[in-house]
Structures are given as C-alpha cells and as structure tokens.
Amino acid sequence: MTPKRKQRLLLIAAMVIGVGVAAGFALKAFNQNLMFFYTPTKVMAGEAPTGRLIRVGGLVTKGSLKRQADGLTVHFDITDYAHTMTVQYTGILPDLFREGQGIVAHGKLQQDGSFVADEVLAKHDEKYMPPEVADALKTAHREGAKTTAAGTD
Amino acid sequence: MIPELGHFSLILALCMAVVLAVFPLIGSLNNTPGWVALAKPAALAQFCFTALSFACLVNAFLANDFSVAYVAENGNTLLPTLYKISAVWGAHEGSLLLWALILTGWTTAVAIFTRNLPPVTLARVLSVMGIISIGFLSFLLFTSNPFARVYPAPLEGGDLNPLLQDPGLAIHPPMLYMGYVGMSVAFSFAIAALIGGKLDATWARWSRPWTTVAWVFLTIGITLGSWWAYNELGWGGWWFWDPVENASFMPWLAATALIHSLAVTEKRGAFKRWTVLLSLLAFSLSLLGTFLVRSGVLTSVHSFAADPARGLFILVFLSIVIGGSLLLYAWRAPDVNSGGRFDMLSRETLLLGNNVLLVAITAFVLLGTLAPLIYDAMGWGKISVGFPWFTTMFVIFTPFMVFLMGMGPLTRWKHQDPAQLARTLRIAFVISIAAGVVAALPILHGGSWQAGLAVALSVWLLASLLLSLRQRHRHNVGVANIWKSFRMRGGGSYYGMIIAHLGVVVFIIGVTFATQFTQQEDVRMSPGQTYELAGYSFRFDGAKPVPGPNYRADRASFLVTRDNREVATLHPEKRTYTVQTKPMTESGIDVGLFRDLYVSLGESLGNGDWSVRLYYKPFVRWIWLGGIMIAIGGLCAALDRRYRIAVSKRVVAPEPSRVKAPGKKANA
C-alpha cells in the first residue's frame, strides 16, 4: 500500500502545485486589471495614476460636447460640481449618453492631463445615475460646504 | 378582487410549505408513516396554490389592472400580449414569484416522478425543498408582495423596460430559473442523504437525472442570455463578464463539476463527500446568484442598505441555508466511507482533475464578482474588475481542462496502463499539434497564437472523441448499430457525453475565432456612401422614420454586396420608446454559419448622415451552437434508459439489502 500511497501523495502534490501556479498567474492578472474609480476632483488633485486603466465619472457639463470633423471623435467635460475635467472618446456614444447625464468612462489618463476613454458607459436611466457618480457628487458637495463654512468663519 | 385572491393563495402556499417542511421530516425521523405520507399531498397543494397566485398576477397584467403597484410599474396597455406576460417576471417581485412557482413545480415533479424512491427518503427530499420554499414564500409575502395595491390607481402603467421587450429575454429568465431552482433538487437529495446517513451509489443514481436536467436548463438559459445580449444590446458583444452574467455562470460551473462527480459516485462509489459538497455549492451559488441580481446589491452596497428589510432577510436566509447545510455536512460526512479505490492514472483521477479546475474557475469568477462589493464595503475604494482578467483566467485554465477532457473517455475506470493510453492517443496528439501550428501561422488571417491554441485543443478533443467512438464500434459499424447502441442502457449517457463534448469543440472554435478575427469599424456615413469591411461593401441608403406599436424608430437601409453580388439588405433601427422615452439600438444582422454581418446605428449627425458601427464577426454563431449541443448532450444523458430500467427492476425484485429501509414495505 505504501508505494501506492506515495504515488497518490505525488499526484495530489502535483495538482496543488499546478493549481497554485495557475492561481498565482490569475491573481497577478487580477491586480493588473483592477480599475479604480476617480472623481474629477481626485484627478485634478493629481491622485489618479497615468498610463493605467482607470474609471472616471461625473455629470456631462451642458454645452461641452464637441465633435471633430470626422464626426466620431468627441470631447466633453464631466464634473462633480467641484472640479471639471475633459474626456476624449472616439466611437459611438451609448444610447443614453446625454448632456447633464451621469456617465462613467474607462480609459487612461495621459501625461498631459487629458483623459482618453476607450469605453463610455451610461447604462442607467434618467432617474438614476451611476452610484459612483452619485457618491462623487455627494462628497464634492459636502466638501464644498465645508470649505465655504471654513471661509465664513 | 383577483389580486387579493392571488395574495391569499400565496399565504396558503406558505402554510402548505410549512406543513411540507415539518411533518414529513419529523415523521421520517421517528417512524410515523402517516406523517411521511403527508409529503406528496402537501407538495401538490403547495404547487397548486402558488400556480393560482401566479395566474392571478398574469391576469392582472393582461387586464391592465394598474391598481396593483407592481403592474402599474411594469405593465402598459400598449404592450404586446407576449410582453405583458413576460412583464410578470420583468422586475423584483414577479421574478421572485416565478422562482417560487418553479420551486414548487420541481417539488411536485420529484413527488410524482420518483416512484422507486423509498417513501422515507422521498419525504426527506420534499421536506428540504419545503424548507427552501418557506424562505422564498415568506420573503415574497413579508418584503416583496407583488399584489400590493396602489391608491389612486394610475391610468397608465410605467411600461416594461424596452431592453426586456425581446422574445429571447421573455423566455430567458424562466429557463435560467428552471436551472437555478433545479439545483435545489440535487441539494435536497444531498441533504436527505446526509440526514439518513446513506450516501451510496443509489443516492447518486436518484440524484443524477435531476441534476442533469437542471444543468440542461441552466445551459439553455445562459446561451439564450448571451444570444439576447448580442441581438438586443446592439453592440455586438455576446458576453460581458457582467456580475449578472457571472451570477448565472458560477452555478453552471459548479453544476458541471457536480454532474461529472456524480458519475464517479454512481459508477465507482468514490468521491461521495466531494459530490455532496458540490451539490451544496451548486445550490448555494444559485441562491447567491438570485440574490445578487435581485437585491440591488450589485449596483451599490448602499442600495442594499437602503432597503434593510430585504437585505437582512437575504443575509439571514443565505446563512441559514449555507451554514446549516455545511454544519450538517461536517456532522455526518466523516461517517461516510471513502469508497472505490483507484490508481493514479484512471478515469477517476482525470475527472477529479477536471473538478478541481472547474472549482478553481468558479472561485476566481466569484472573486472577480464580489471583489468590487468587498472593496466598497471595506472602504478601499471603488473598483471594477476588467474584462481582460476574466478572459486571461480562462485562457490559463481551459487548455488543461480540454486536455483532460480528451483523455477521459479513453481511460479506464480504476486503472489504466499509461503506455496503452499513449499509444491510442499518439495520433490525436500529433494531428492536433500540427493543426494548431498551421492555424497559428501567419498565412491565415495574419496569424494568431490564440487561434492556434484553440484549433489544437479542438482537434485534440475531436480526435479523441472519434477514437472513443471507434473503440465502442470496433465490431459493429453502421448507423443502425449506433442507433441500437444509443438505445442501450448507458447509451444515452455515452452519446450525450459525445454530443456535449463536441459542443465544447464548437464553442471553443466559436469563441476564439469570433474574438480574434472580428473586424469592427465606427464610421460616419452619408446616404449613398459605401464602406468596405472584410471584403464586403456596405452601402448606406439613408434612414427614415417608421412608427412601431409602442415606439418610434429611425430605420436605416444598408445594401451589402460582395464582388458586386448582393449579399443582404440590413435594416438597423434607432428606437425611442414612447413611455420610458429610452432610445434603443436595434441592430441589423445578416446571419451565417461562418460569419455574421452586423450593423448598428449610432447617432444622427445631421444632413442625413449617421454614425454607424459595422462588424464582420466570423464563427460567432458557433458560440450558441456549441451551447445548444451541450444542452442536447445533457438531455440525452438524462433520458438514458438505465434510469428507467433500473426502476422497473427494483420494483419487481428489491435487493435484500434495501428491504430493511424503513417504510419500504409501504412501497412494495
């Protein structure tokens, strides 16, 4: 029985190592693919990394949508009412994209501070906005209130 | 009046569930045949009351009874009849009612179709299902009553979400729920076996066809969901690793591991504890999936807290079911003997390897799905896990799985001579490597190692399946013989396996080619303008407004030609639904076995110009074709004659060892 048991131990060891290595790769990839969310305030404060996939979100500022001559590249501003940043995107905007509406964009922050999106999401209907954006607005509002309060003191 | 009838009927169903959960179980433990006999009528009554309740809600939608809050939110007089019915499960309350209906339906099916089961075991199985049913019915009645009235009643309903107005999505949730809830049967069988302390091959044989049928429904549901996303979301994606999709995919992965592990338990008596654990896991993941999708916890952890009653109920229910079953497992499982022995190279080992890989994938999908929730709850920031991660993970694990899948059917149970296996598989190995290298070379499509890998794996699997068929039909060739062998005991299982694994071959090719060789272009087009993509030329013939039943649409016309020959005329639409004023992209698709041509309208850019997305998607149909084949394979396996022949045999001559089971006399 002993050689057999040894064999089985070997088998289990091989499996554990195999799955362990695969798990290692998967977790490494996991870390690389985590996309953190940043508000325009945080981006403007320089907290967001450049050259890495991140998500930004806010309300699209009214009247900020500009189309290039090719008709597909657009620039628009998003805001959390405290700060505003510009997003550039080439492609077809989602059905629910509208000025004044909350959106989330996936993409990379460039060295020069502009944000180039590879995906723009506006899944939520008019009544609701993406939860991140709602939170961002709330935080910005609270902090805004704090600074004004500090100013009057 | 009718909504109140539905509400009342639902309360009665809950009462029946309590009866079902309490009396048969206690009766089975202290040998009270009268209580045990209550199981069937209680299960039937529970189903009838739930069905009546469901019918009342359907009626409220058909009759446009907007005094019912749920109908007022999701119904509309202008909805076509099909969508009035599917609106019943279009939102939280109604979909839970559908869940409950299907659960009581499965309970009744188990009560009716398992005549060979000892009454005591059957009573336990039904009781466990009754306990689950109590959870769902009280969740419905106490936190999400679909029959709640609203006063004053609005004149018109809020309409069904336009995204859900599609025939594919009308039947997608019922299919998916059939699968989710079907896992409760495997779960209940496992719990009943744990209570009785009898985990043996017969238990696996009882549980197997049920589990396979549930898995077939889950497969169909997921395939339909993917097909719907491709058709209806308008942007050519067929899988997004969206948490809602993952919620259905995780139980599928666990159930796939389960049906393979059940095979080992039935045939060889091994892996008993592991099989039980997988039964618990598959159903727990189904529950988790239902609640992830339905509680709103996915959109935000805070929306979960916004409705504390629902959230708390869900958490308590989940912990009772998962925690309770694991406790029972910890208490009873150590008594189970480990069963059949096997060597290092044997079919058992290969199936174990596949199980480990499937569970590993499940764990990673779970991690990716829950990580954003955990990060948010812990205050570590708001994250989302990128699409590429899930894909990477699949590319890491799947090749090993397919490699084992190829070896499995050619390997003997218990002990396999490695040299012999190597001799058999030599040809398959060489051919698959060669095919892979050829496919990866840059002569085709500019070369892609992913395509090479996929082709190698598919050819490997295909060749090994053919080798296995040849082994089975070495002495009897011909279609008639194959049919005869299909009808034999075990034939359905074997050919089911072949068909399902062929489905995997088709699926792998579809996924890889559709992702690697898709060509996509976003362009601005003026009427009369032509654009070339992948050898096809798309001519835009302008868009004009057309009215629909409950929407307005801009309908464009595209003439697709190849080498000056007409291929298709596509009519993508941009719809605006009148009630919810939501824009919707309705794609124009020319379907083909080897390629789809896909056109979506973006926005109107003035002067009749539109932004347009054009796709050339090779082999995309193979993805769903593979899914359908996998489901058909499962169906063949579930219909195997052996499950029925075994029944009649046992009724005629009960094995002596089984006669002493309490209550057996009543059956004979």
Model confidence pLDDT, tens digit, residues A33-72: 888 888 888 888 888 888 888 888 888 888 888 888 777 8
How far does A88 lie from chain B, in Å, by closest CA?
A: 15
Residue B356: its chain A contacts at CB < 8 A?
Answer: 15, 19
pTM of the model: 0.89
CB neighbours of residue A146 within 10 Å: 10
Candidates A12, A95, A123, A137: best to mutate against B (most CBs of B within 10 A) is A95
Q: Do B605 and A23 touch (CB under 8 A)?
A: no
**Which residue in chain A has the smallest CA separation from B603?**
A92
d(CA B641, CA B256): 22
Contacts for B92 with CB less than 8 Å, ≥ 6 apart = B144, B294
Contact A8 B382 (CB under 8 A): no
- At residue B412, φ and ψ (nearest 5 deg) are -80, 155
Q: Of B235, B373, B382, which to mutate for an interface test with A (greatest number of A Cβ within 10 Å)?
A: B382
What is the rounded CA–CA span in Å between residue B425 and residue B460? Answer: 9
C-alpha–C-alpha distance, residues B245 and B365, integer Å: 10
Give residue for tokens 């964009």.
A105
Which member of B353, B397, B613 has the closest CB to residue A15? B353
pLDDT of B315 reads 81
> Which A-chain residues 26-55 have CB contacts (< 8 A) with chain B?
26, 29-30, 32-37, 53, 55
Is the Cβ of A135 closer than 8 Å to some Cβ of chain B? Answer: yes
Q: How far is CA B605 from CA A67, A70, B264, in A?
A: 10, 11, 62
Chain pair A-B, CB pairs under 8 angstroms: 102
| Per-residue pLDDT at A129 | 60
Q: In whole angstroms, give the CA distance from residue A108 to residue B121.
A: 59
Where are chain B's structural domains?
1-165, 184-335+350-399, 426-515+627-653, 519-619
A90 touches chain B (CB under 8 A): yes
Chain B residue numbers with beta carbons less than 8 Å from the beta carbon of A67 are: 605
Give CA–CA dist A151/A132, Å, rounded: 28
Which residues have a Cβ under 8 Å from the Cβ of B613 and sit 6 or more positions away?
A: A91, A92, B235, B236, B520, B521, B522, B523, B599, B600, B602
CA dihedral B147, B151, B155, B159 (to 10 degrees): -40
Between CA B351 and CA B257 the distance in angstroms is 9
Q: Which residues contact B204 (CB under 8 A, 6 or more apart)?
A: B262, B265, B266, B272, B275
Per-residue confidence (pLDDT) for residue A150, from 0 to 100: 43
How does B105-120 read in b/e, with b if 16+ C-beta sit within 10 Å?
Answer: bbbbbbbeebebbbbb
CB nearest A26 (choices: B343, B393, B524): B393
Nearest to B82 by CA among B579, B549, B661: B549
Closest residue in B to A7 (Cα–Cα): B344
Cβ–Cβ below 8 Å for A131 and B609: no
- Quick one: pLDDT band at residue A80, thresholds 50, 70, 90? confident
Q: Do B384 and A29 touch (CB under 8 A)?
A: no
Instruction: Please tell me which residue of chain A has the smallest CA distance to B386.
Output: A33
pLDDT given at position B489: 78
Q: Do B294 and B180 meet the contact criterion of CB atoms below 8 Å apart?
A: no
A-chain residue closest to B383, CA distance: A36
DSSP letter for each residue of B251-290: HHHHHHHHHHHHHHHHHHS--HHHHHHHHHHHHHHHHHHH
Question: What pLDDT, in 10s, does the model give residues B93-103?
Answer: 898 999 999 99
Rounded-to-integer distance, Cα A15 and Cα A18, Å:
5
CA distances from B63 to B70, B71, B83, B153, B164 (A): 13, 10, 13, 14, 20
Mutate to test the interface with B, among A4, A34, A38 (most CBs of B within 10 A): A34
Where do we find the tokens 């053919």? B466
CB contact under 8 Å between B382 and A67, yes or no, is no
Q: How far apart are CA B153 and CA B13, in angstroms?
A: 28
Q: In chain B, which residues have their Cβ closer than 8 Å to the Cβ of A136?
A: none
User: What's the rounded Cα separation, in Å, for the pair B492 and B638?
Assistant: 7
**pLDDT for res B296:** 64
B-chain CB neighbours of A90 within 8 Å are: 522
Q: d(Cα B444, Cα B540) in Å, to the nearest integer? A: 30
**In chain B, which residues have their Cβ closer than 8 Å to the Cβ of A11?**
344, 349
Which chain A positions have a beta carbon within 8 Å of B401's beta carbon? none
- Which residues of B fall within a CB distance of 8 Å from A58? none
Contact assignment for A125 to B582 by CB distance below 8 Å: yes
Query: What is the end-to-end Cα distance of chain B in Å, rounded?
Result: 47
Nearest chain B residue to A38 by CA distance is B382
Helix axes B491-516, B387-407, angle to 10 degrees: 140
Two tokens at B131? 């306990």
Q: Do A71 and B605 touch (CB under 8 A)?
A: yes
Percentage of residues in chain A having pLDDT higher than 90 = 6
- Write down the number of H helices and E strands in chain B: 23, 11
**pLDDT given for residue B13 in this prediction:** 96
**CB spacing of B524 vs A26 below 8 angstroms:** no
Contacts with A24 from chain B: Cβ below 8 Å:
none
Q: Is B364 on the interface with A (CB under 8 A)?
A: yes
**Contact residues on chain B for A135, CB-CB shorter than 8 A:** 302, 382
Q: Is residue B67 less than 8 Å (CB to CB) from chain A?
A: no
Indicate yes or no: CB of A92 within 8 angstroms of CB of B603: yes
Contacts of B388 in chain A (CB under 8 A): 29, 33
Give the residue ranges of chain B where pLDDT is below 50. 305, 648-668
Residue burial B163-197, b: 16+ Cβ < 10 Å; e: rest: bbbbebbbbbbbbbbbbbbbbbbbbbbbbbbbbbe
Q: List beta partners, residue A109.
A: A115
Burial class (CB in 10 A: 0-12, 13-18, 19+), B80: exposed
Q: Which residues contact B58 (CB under 8 A, 6 or more apart)?
A: B85, B88
Q: Are B214 and B255 in contact (CB under 8 A)?
A: yes
Predicted confidence at residue B449, as pLDDT, reads: 84
Residue of A28, A30, A74 to mutate for B, most B C-beta atoms under 10 A: A30
pLDDT at B222: 94
The shortest CB-CB distance from B349 to any of A11, A32, A36 is to A11
**Chain A residues with beta carbon closer than 8 angstroms to that of B582:** 95-96, 125
Using an 8 Å Cβ cutoff, are B336 and B272 in contact?
yes
- Report d(CA B424, CA B327) in Å as an integer: 46
Closest chain B C-alpha to A1 CA, distance in angstroms = 11
Residues 9-48 of B with CB under 8 A from A: none
> What are the tokens at B571?
């009519």
ipTM (interface pTM): 0.77
**Residue A90 to residue B368, Cβ atoms within 8 A:** no
The pair of structure tokens assigned to B14 is 């809950």
- DSSP category for residue A70: T
Per-residue 3-state assignment (H helix, E strand, C coil) for B172-199: HHHHHHHHHHHHHHHHHHHHHHHHHCCC
